[in-house]
Structure 1
Amino acid sequence: MSVLRTAALRSKRTLIAAGLALAVAAGTGGWAAGSAQTAVTGPAPGAAAWRADRALGRPLPDPVTASPAAVARFFASLTGPQRHALAARHPLTVGNLDGAPVALRFEANSAALKAERARQLARATDPDGTLQDHRQARKAAARCAELLAPGRHVLAFDPRGRGQVAEVHGELTSAERVAVVVPGSDIDLGSFDRTRDPYGTPTGMATSLRRQMAIEAPGTRTAVIAWAGYTTPVGLGPDAATGRLAEAGAPRLARFLTGLAATGTPAPAVLCHSYGSVVCGLAAPEVGRGEIADLIVFASPGMRRDSVAELGTSARVWAARDASDWIGDVPNVEFLGLGHGEDPTDPAFGARRVPTGRAEGHTGYLAPGTGSLRNFAAIALGRYDAVR
């Protein structure tokens, strides 16, 4: 077959696939099923006050330009009282500053959540607000109160937009094995740990994974981080079909993972669900070699990369998709900005395939009793010969 004929056939398949992608979107509710989101980017509120702070007699590391390694060195040079004073003065900055000590971030985010809860409670009784404003404020205050419950460890919190949060399950500073869960669409501060469809939420996935890791290796110290640190798509609108929000979220994920390495955390297994796998695909080349042990994508619409080689990562790359998952009906194409490219479970992509026995649907991969949960736990534990 000639080169020109091959190119013509590939172009024809792309056009057909693009048409199918639009048909699938229309058949599942179309663009009206989702709303366009404004991506939250840049440092958390309070960065200007942080930059202007000269209480230590020297500039503080810029939250945008300072590397996590530089941030870690800066905090290592401080006394305990100096660190706590910075966290008290700038809770949102310290709580989201990748490279800062883990325990200090917990402390800062606790203070930030208390301040946000107080702000929302004030809004809930503001006479200038509408009934809807009051209702939304009470709901936001309740979410902050839930995250402040004893035993919860919040590693990142940003109240802007729909709200972003990262929570640690386990003891991160002493963990031998670590995993990070990156969710897909419809996740924010309000749905981070909802009771409906729990294994489709970061909290549900993280708790189930850590529980399974304890079953597989009872003597191993583990921690799982539920990371909802980017603006996710809502519904099946254009945001879910394009890479705009993933492009905004990928630098945040890359910096977060680099920050874990800077604080001495073992290289984690990163589990990327659905649209989260698009974020991971764009973030992977920006993460330093050896800072990720394994990259697991599941229920993926594509990673905006044509192959494992294009991910530019030293991590082992794994892919899983159950036959019952509707994502398999979405054509793997990237055309005029729509779609996310090659199927990571296609052998040609080059990822290791993970069996998913007994998983059901798009959000059932980490449900107890599934083969995918057992296999994901084995990968996170580094027990690769147990993947079956």
Structure 2
Amino acid sequence: MIGSSAVFRRRSWTVLLLGLLTTASPAAFAAECPGHPDALGTSRTLVVDPREHPRIGTMQYRETLPLKDHEVVLTFDDGPLPKYSNQVLQILASECIKATFFIIGQQAKANPDGVRKLVAAGHTVGTHSMNHPLTMNKMPIEKAQAEIDGGIEWTSAAMTDPSRLAPFFRIPGLMRADGVENYLISRGIQVWSADFPADDWRHISPDRVYQLAIQRLEAKGKGILLLHDIQARTVAALPKIIRDLKAKGYRIVHVVPATADRPATPTTPVEWLLHPPTETTPIARWPAVPSFVFTQTATLPAPGLADLNAQTAHQPQVLPRKAIAQADIAATLPAPGRDVFAIPEGSVEVLLSTTLSRRAATRLAMAAEGPHAGKGKAGTIRAGKIHARRTAAHTGPRPAAQAKRTASHPTRLATSVKKRA
């Protein structure tokens, strides 16, 4: 009785502790977002090293950010544009959400205060070229480099502290090219694609933007969402997107670059895959065949018949002596010529190859005998015997039973011919 009560008390304390931990999570988020107890908040900060994973986003690349299930990274392109970017900043601030913004150099040049507001709010700021060309996959590499460098120059110039500029870059229109990516990677800049967009650059309604964002997120379960902070439809759809993220249990992740004082978050290579393979998930691609290194490439001679008859005191002979003798004789015989197997065209043997020609062959055999061919049954038998001898001369000796069958068959044909005549 005492033991059972002790177990009951232990279970009660366990349930109470779990309940306190569960209820403490919203309070912790509320503490980070004063005045907004129902805020979605930012669940964690992910530190990445661009040199270790230079390309991310499964819309174009194999890897993406190492997110857990139901984790989302919000990204915004093409700003800052005060009319709409300021509203996006207010919506994110009301929910204590940190996002990543990819700035156009011309926008930073025209609105440097907008860039400083992003940095002051704690968001990550990357770049998005100087003029947002949609032909970076076609233009000469020198022109692409000028676009990249110009965007970095004017965005960093708009900041009070240029070191706050993240080495993140998103190619305009996601029009990727190997030369552009190689240049970015050589400078230690991480190339960002996305895992799914909301199509908010198209002429669609805000409600459609909201639907596409949630539907595509639900389909993948986690990932990088691509939005634009220069569109009125994005401003209208963003509160509804955040509302559904909260209702469906999604969490916001803030991404920052690694520095000397801030090492990258420890991860494993498989975490950088959107859906890592498991034992219950079939792999669509076979693994690469490993490259074997052979210590020596000398080939051994093929074994001969003599090698199979290596006799020892306790090893019986593998092949019988008669088979060995025949093999030795066969090895010394010359190969037969082609004329040995030649059969003259129109000969009796050719005609006998088909059933319909056997009667004509018998007539030819009888005609070849001429006056020596006997009449009646005796002549027919002689003709059959002569034909059998001629056939045997070409085909070699035959068993007695087979020769008998061959001789008797033309006899019946000749008799039937005689009767008809």
**TM class by shorter-chain length?**
under 0.3
Write 1 or 2 for the structure with the bigger share of helix. 2
- Larger Cα Rg: Structure 1 or Structure 2? 2
Tell me the TM-score normalised to structure 1 length.
0.23
Larger RCO, structure (CA 8 Å, separation 6 or more): 2
